[in-house]
Structure 1
Amino acid sequence: MNALNLIIKREYLSRIKKRSFVVLTLLMPVLMVAIIAVPLLLSDIQDSGIKRISVIDNTGKYASHLKSSEHYAFEIAGKEQNNHLKSEVGKDIFGILQITGDLAENPTAATFVSEKQIPLDLQGYINNTLSEVIKSDKINLLAQEANIDTKIIVDIRQVIETSGNIKVTTKRWSDDGSEKETSSSIAAGVGGIFTFIMYMFILMYGTMVMQGVVEEKSNRIVEVMISSVKPFDLMMGKIIGIGLTGITQLCIWFGILAIILGAKSTLFAEADMGGLSSQLAGIEMLFSINWAEIIISFLLLFIGGYLIYASLFAMFGAAVDNAQDTQQFVMPVTLIFIFSFYVGIYSLQNPDGPLAFWCSMIPLTSPIVMMVRIPFEIPLWEKILSIVILYTSVFFTVKFAAKIYRVGILMYGKKPSIKELIKWFSYK
């Protein structure tokens, strides 16, 4: 036990004191926010210049409805200018919109020609504008046939369009019989973020264990250590020490989150002033989530998932002589792990579906998929069953990995097959 404690202490302190750990711990939350926010901000930035679009309307019904904006200038051109304008595409003009016939009879009669791909906002504006013209023409035609004032039909249409926006308020029954307002989008967002963190941490620290084992074996350091330390203690010391590094990092982040949640009364004390409460309703609902349950569940699932994958990675690292040879063993496990991540993302839309349920019970996928489902307040028995299965699997996985580790850590010069790994497991 003393040897195990010394190895854990060595692995933990050697990593916790690194400058990279401090920098990563402090900058990672900022980087994660930047990864989400920066693309959204950049997507709103438009080109500084105005794109000129020439419109050739053979019908004469549509061109006048396309209005210029601060980013796009629509210019009506004649049919005879077609050949000349084509030579200017990509130079003086961005593109040509040509309408060759009645769009109500032939919806494909509109064509946009440009040198570059048409921006989505421009394409959407043209499609919506032309569609509105067609709708207005059909309304006028119906009004004439039914001998009804066109204005009446237009008014009816406006009433229908403006009165059809219904937003259903969702609530859940609490254990005490009270109602609590919920939001599926907020639950999905929280589940998605924690799932990504779970995926990143298990993969990052599990791979760190494998790299450490391979490095010690290739440098022959393990031969000295194994003379005074049991192989099991050596493997578990490295796994636990590196795992504690990850938990330390998580606890720092959760501590920052706790400070923010604890300050919510101060931050939103004046929320009702100036109609601000309606704008902060989503943020208040975010604070109403049971964060204690989510964080505790996250730590339990992370520890269980990390122990399984880190044990497998340590086993693979001990079986080979260099990092390149680990690929044949690591790839299947990594594919399963990536599969669990995609199942988790898919489960955001259907957290109670059969795929989400069963993958939240399978040990290799449950840490990822169950973390998606927990913010949706699934039944307690499902959480308990998932964790029980996970930690039962941890026991058998660690036992299996340790038996192969004790043999492989002293094997050199040969890359074993799966069959040989199983044979190593049977050694007494």
Structure 2
Amino acid sequence: MKNILLILRREYLVRIKKKSFWVMTLLMPILISGFYALLFWGVFNSQEQQKVSIIDESGAFTQKFKNSEKVKFEYLKLPLDSAISRLNQKQTDIVAVIPQNIMDDPSSLRIYTGKGVGFEIQNKIENIIQNEIRNVKLAKAGIDQKILEEADVNVSSKVVVVSKEGEQKEQNTLASTILGTITVILMFSTVVGFGVQVMRGVIEEKTNRIIEVIISSVKPFQLMMGKILGVGMVGLTQFALWITLTFALTTVSSSLLPANQIKKAAQQQMSEMPQKDKDKIAKKVTETPSDAGKVMGFLKSAKSLNIPLIIGCFLFYFLFGYLFYASVYGAIGSAVDNETDTQQFMFPIMLPLLAGYLIGLMTAGQADNKLLFWASIIPFTAPITMMARLPFGVEPWELILSMTLLVISTIGMVWLAAKIYRVGILMYGKKPSFKEIGKWLFYKG
């Protein structure tokens, strides 16, 4: 145990002291927050006002189009050819032609442009015409618009889970799905990322012949376990720093962004709406909870989740899932001389990991899915897929069975990996096959 701790300490300190570790650790959160800040700035500052010419042959849409900071409308009474010539001369950006039969054939609307039209502007023109056609048809049918607005109601429900003992517990499906998806992604990325680091570390030491010196002082199993645990601690440290720094930088950058532009854009959008739409929105606001109320309700319902159990299980499945796959990565690294030769061995490892990842994402929110159930029991996929089920509740016997099989499988995999590691770590100049690696398992000594 002392030798394992010494190797663990060495692996951790050697990697943590590298400049590249700190550069990547500090640079990644800055790049992430800077990217989103730049994207946000570009959305609100890069778009210029466009000039849209309206040719209303029906005469039913006069003064229906209102100007805004992004769009300026003008009404033309010109032949189509003359209007298009103005387009070519860059006197206008868009020409929208509303034909006389627009009421009978809404698909006859034509929009001409010289350099393409954005979806937002196209949607704005279509919505204005669509709303006006609807109002005209409702008026002809003798239907009051207010009756339709009053009939437009929002229906919401609460999910209550009833246990076998009759205990009732409210559950937020959205919160459970989001939490399950996040934990699936985190589990997959950390297990794969840290496992690859173990493999690369073994290959590097083997290539530099450092391993021959180390192996004379410690047993191969101790060396492998010390490296696996040391690299795992380095990865956890970097992962924790990324989360902390990303959260801090995102919070700071969001406070520095021009929030008044968001408010101004929302006000501008409201001013462009017809009065009936404004009244409809105001009615919905009074009938439905505010954004703050929704957030508070979401957080309140999220508290109904068994967070301590989820955190504890996440740590358990990460620990044994990482040990399971990192030992295999370490064995692969010991069997080859360079990273290129690992490709033939990587597919069998990545297949169950990718299967668990895809199953976890595609069945998120489907607590009773049979495929997800069996994937959460089988040790190869359990570390990932069980996290997708936990927020929805898992029977104790299912959790115990899954954990027991994972622990037994991890012990067996570490034992097999150690068998391969002790032989492969001293093999040079030969690319082994699966058959040859299988023989290593039965070597004595």
Fold agreement, TM-score > 0.5: yes
**Mean Cα displacement is larger for which, 383-392 or 75-84?**
75-84
Task: Name the CA shift for 1:69/1:178 in 2 (closer, same or farther; >3 Å).
Answer: farther
Residue 147 of structure 1 aligns with which residue? none
One-letter amino acid of the counterpart of residue 240, structure 1 = L
Note the C-alpha offset of 1:300. 0.6
8 Å CA contact retained: 1:51, 1:73: yes
- Secondary structure, aligned partner of 1:280: helix
Q: 1:159 aligns to what? A: 150
TM value normalised by structure 1: 0.80
Question: Cα–Cα, structure 1 residues 92 and 406, in superposed 2: closer, same or farther, change >3 Å?
Answer: farther
Partner of 1:14: 14
Structure 2 SS opposite 1:228? coil
CA apart distance, 1:220: 0.7
Pick from 314, 320, 328 the counterpart of residue 312 of structure 1.
328
Stretch moving more, 241-250 or 46-55: 241-250
Partner of 2:71: 72
Which segments of 5 or more consecutive residues in structure 1 lack a partner in the other structure?
A: 144-149, 257-273
2:434 aligned residue: 418
Cα pair 2:357 2:384 within 8 Å, conserved: yes
Look up the match of 2:175.
186
Matched to 2:419, the amino acid is K
In structure 2, what residue type is equivalent to 1:10?
R
For residue 401 of structure 1, what is the aligned residue in structure 2? 417
> Contact 2:158–2:170 (CA<8 Å) still a contact in 1?
yes
| In structure 1, C-alpha distance between the alignment counterparts of 2:89 and 2:385, rounded to whole Å | 49
Deviations 1:213-242 (A, max 9, x none): 000010011122222322222212211222
2-structure distance, mates of 1:336, 1:94: 54
Does the 8 Å contact 2:87/2:113 carry over to 1? no
| Amino acid across the alignment from 2:70 | H
- Using structure 2 for the length normalisation, give the TM-score: 0.77
Within 2, Cα distance between the matches of 1:49 and 1:239?
A: 55
1:117/1:368 Cα in 2 relative to 1: closer, same or farther (>3 Å)?
Answer: farther
Matches for 1:23-422 after TM superposition, within 5 Å: 34=33, 41=40, 45=44, 47-62=46-61, 64-78=63-77, 80-85=79-84, 88=87, 91-100=90-99, 102-103=101-102, 105-143=104-142, 150=143, 153-161=144-152, 164-173=153-162, 179-247=168-236, 280-422=296-438
- Paired letter, 1:210: M
User: Cα RMSD between the aligned structures?
Assistant: 3.6
What per-residue deviation string (whole Å, max 9, x for no partner) do you get for residues 373-393 of structure 1?
A: 212223333322222222222
| 8 Å CA contact retained: 1:53, 1:74 | yes
Residue type of the alignment partner of 1:70: E
Comparing 182-191 with 108-117, greater Cα deviation is found at 108-117
**Percentage identity across paired residues of the two chains:** 38
- Does the 8 A contact of 2:87 with 2:95 survive in 1? no
Give, in angstroms, the shift of residue 329 of structure 1.
Answer: 1.7
Aligned residue-pair number: 400
**Residue type at the aligned position of 1:8:** L
Aligned to 2:260: none
Structure with more relative contact order (C-alpha pairs < 8 Å, separation 6 or more): 2
Looking at structure 2, the residues matched to 372 and 28 of structure 1 have their Cα atoms a distance apart, in angstroms, of 27
| 1:308-360 residue CA offsets vs partner (Å, 9 max, x unmatched) | 22112111111111122222222442354234323222222424322322222
Match of 1:360, SS state, is helix
Distance 2:71 2:318 in 1: 51
Listed as ranges, the gaps of 5+ residues in structure 2 are 246-289
Change over 3 Å in CA distance of 1:254–1:80 after alignment to 2: closer
Counterpart amino acid of residue 309 in structure 2: E
Cross-structure match for 2:259: none
User: Could you say what secondary structure the match of 2:134 adopts?
Assistant: helix
- More divergent stretch after superposition (283-292 vs 323-332): 283-292
Query: Which SS does the other structure have where 1:6 is aligned?
Result: helix
What residue number does 2:3 align with? 3
